[in-house]
Amino acid sequence: MAARILIIGLNYSPEHTGIAPYTAGMARALREEGWDVEVVTGLPHYPQWQVHEGYPRQDGPLEVIDGVPVRRIPHPVPHDAGQLRRLGMEIVFGLRAARAPWGDPDVVVLVTPALFASAIARVRAALTRTPVLVWVHDIYTAGLAETGAAGGPATRVMRAVEGTFLRSCSGVVVIHDRFSDYLRRHMGVAGEKITTVRNWTHIAEAPTVDTAALRRRFGWEPQDVVVLHTGNMGAKQDLTNVAAAARVAEERSAPLRFVLVGGGHQRPQLEELAATTPRFEVLPSVDNDTYAGLLRAADILLVNERPGLTEMCVPSKLTSYFTADRPVLAAVEAAGPSAAELAAAGAGIRVEPGDPEALVAGAVRLHEEWITTGGTTHRGGRRYVREVLSRGAAVRSFLSALTRLRPDLRAEDRSPATVKS
C-alpha cells in the first residue's frame, strides 16, 4: 500500500490566491507521485472573507479535486478579518478538524499560518504518535509584531506558543531561507528539522486571454501606464499608500494608473478612496485565466508592504509576477525577503515603503527604462522561476522532508481517487 499523507489546512482550492494554490498543488503533485493523499480543509472564503457560493456552512460529502479526496470542515468566517475573529475561526476549524475522520495516516502535514488550528490538530496527532510535518508560509508572531496587531507582552506570549508548537513537530517546511534563520534564532527550532521548499508559480507563461481586449474591458487607455497590485488587501499590504501615490500622479500629470485586484478586509476602505481618487481603482477577484492575462496586460506589477516588514512573509504574488514577464516595482524594506527576491531575480526595482512620492518616481523610472531599452532590462523573472521556483524542485524538496521523517514510506502507482466516506 502507498504511504498515507493527511494534509490539514484552512485554505484550499477553489481559492486561487494566498496559500490555497500551493497546498492544493502539492497535494495533487504528491498524489501524482504515488502517495495516498487526503485533505481536511475549511470553507473557501479567501480573499473576499465570505464563503464562496455553493458551499454550505455544514458538513457535506467528500469532494475529489484533481484526484485528491477533500473533506470540508464548516467554520465561521469573520467579515472583517480582525485578529480576535480570525482566532475564533481558527479555533473552531481546529477543533472540528481534530474530530474529523482521519483514518490512519503515516504523516500529518499541518499548514500554517492557521497557528491555533494547527496546534489543536497537533494534539490529536500526538495522541496517536503520528509524525507531524508543519508547512510554514507566514511566521505568525513576527507578523503580529511587525504590523502592530499585538503589543509587546502579547507578542512574547504568542512567540512562546508558536515556538513550542514548531519545536514539537517532527519536521518543519518553510518557504524561504530567511524563515529558516528566524525559526532557529528566535524560536529555537533545530536546523536539522527544517527544509526550505520554495513556492512556485501557478499561472501559465502564455495565457490564452487577449491582453489588449482586457485593457479595453477595464477601460485602460493606450497611454495609461497601468501599475497593478494583486492579492490580499490587508494591513501588511498598506494599500492606502498606493491611493496616495495615485493622488501624487494626478497632481504631477504622470500617466500612471494604479489598479488593485483582489479582496481582503481593507477592500471597502480602498473602494471608498477609489471613488474620489483619480488614477486609482479597485477591481474584484478574477478567475485564473483572467488573472494571468491581467498580469501581462499591465505595464508594471506592484508589491507594496507596510514599512517595517523585514521578517514575516514572502509575497506569493512574486512567483506569478516573475512568470508574467513584466517589470516589478517593490515598495518594501531593503532588508526584507521581498527585496532579496527581487534582486535575485533581476526583475525590477525597489523603492522605500510608505512613501507615495517614491512610489510614483519609481514607477515612472521603471517604465522609462523598460521603454528605452525595448524591454530588455528587468526581465530575469522567468529565468529565476525556471531555475529556482519550479514546481518540480518544490515537490522534490517536500518529498525529501517527508521521507526524512519516515524513511520507510513508499509511493506506488495507482488509479485516481474516488469519493468514499
Can you give the pLDDT at residue 232?
87
Which band of pLDDT confidence, cut at 50, 70 and 90, is reported for residue 388?
A: confident
Are 12 and 80 in a shared domain? yes
pLDDT greater than 70 at residue 150: no
Are 176 and 300 in a shared domain? no
- Residues 196-224 have pLDDT tens digits of 999 887 776 666 778 899 999 999 999 99
Q: Please say whether the beta carbons of 15 and 46 come within 8 A.
A: yes
Are 233 and 343 in a shared domain? yes
Give the span between the Cα atoms of 111 and 171, in whole angstroms. Answer: 12
Closest CA to 205 of 349, 50, 73, 389: 389
- Is 415 contained in some domain? no
Cis status, amide bond into 14, omega within 30 of 0: yes
User: Mean pLDDT throughout 345-371?
Assistant: 96
Are 83 and 107 in a shared domain? yes
Are 44 and 181 in a shared domain? yes
Query: Which three three-digit cell numbers place residue 400?
Result: 525529501
Give the span between the Cα atoms of 60 and 74, in whole angstroms. Answer: 9
Are 189 and 52 in a shared domain? yes
List strands edge to edge, sheet with 63-65: 63-65, 68-72, 36-41, 4-9, 107-112, 132-136, 171-174, 194-196
- Is 420 contained in some domain? no
Are 263 and 164 in a shared domain? no
- Residues 301-320 have pLDDT tens digits of 999 999 987 766 677 788 88
Domain tally, the chain: 2
- Is 205 contained in some domain? no
- Is 411 contained in some domain? no
Q: Please say whether the beta carbons of 9 and 137 come within 8 A.
A: no
pLDDT-wise least confident of 13-22, 33-42, 98-107, 142-151: 142-151
Give the span between the Cα atoms of 304 and 103, in whole angstroms. Answer: 43
Q: Please say whether the beta carbons of 24 and 63 come within 8 A.
A: no
- Is 101 contained in some domain? yes
- Is 169 contained in some domain? yes
- Residues 398-409 have pLDDT tens digits of 999 999 998 887
pLDDT greater than 50 at residue 418: no
Distance from CA of residue 190 to its chain's centroid? Answer: 25
- Is 412 contained in some domain? no
Query: Which three three-digit cell numbers place residue 220?
Result: 485602460
Can you give the pLDDT at residue 54?
85
Residues β-bridged to residue 140: none
Helix residue spans in 148-266 (DSSP H): 152-168, 177-187, 211-217, 240-251
Are 173 and 287 in a shared domain? no
Are 185 and 264 in a shared domain? no
pLDDT greater than 90 at residue 246: yes
Q: 108 is in which domain, residue-wise? A: 4-200+390-405
pLDDT greater than 50 at residue 421: no
Are 243 and 189 in a shared domain? no
Are 62 and 157 in a shared domain? yes
- Residues 285-294 have pLDDT tens digits of 888 888 889 9
Torsion of CA 355, 237, 211, 20, to 10 degrees: 160
pLDDT greater than 90 at residue 25: yes
Are 125 and 249 in a shared domain? no
- Is 414 contained in some domain? no
Give the span between the Cα atoms of 199 and 177, in whole angstroms. Answer: 12
Which band of pLDDT confidence, cut at 50, 70 and 90, is reported for residue 145?
A: low
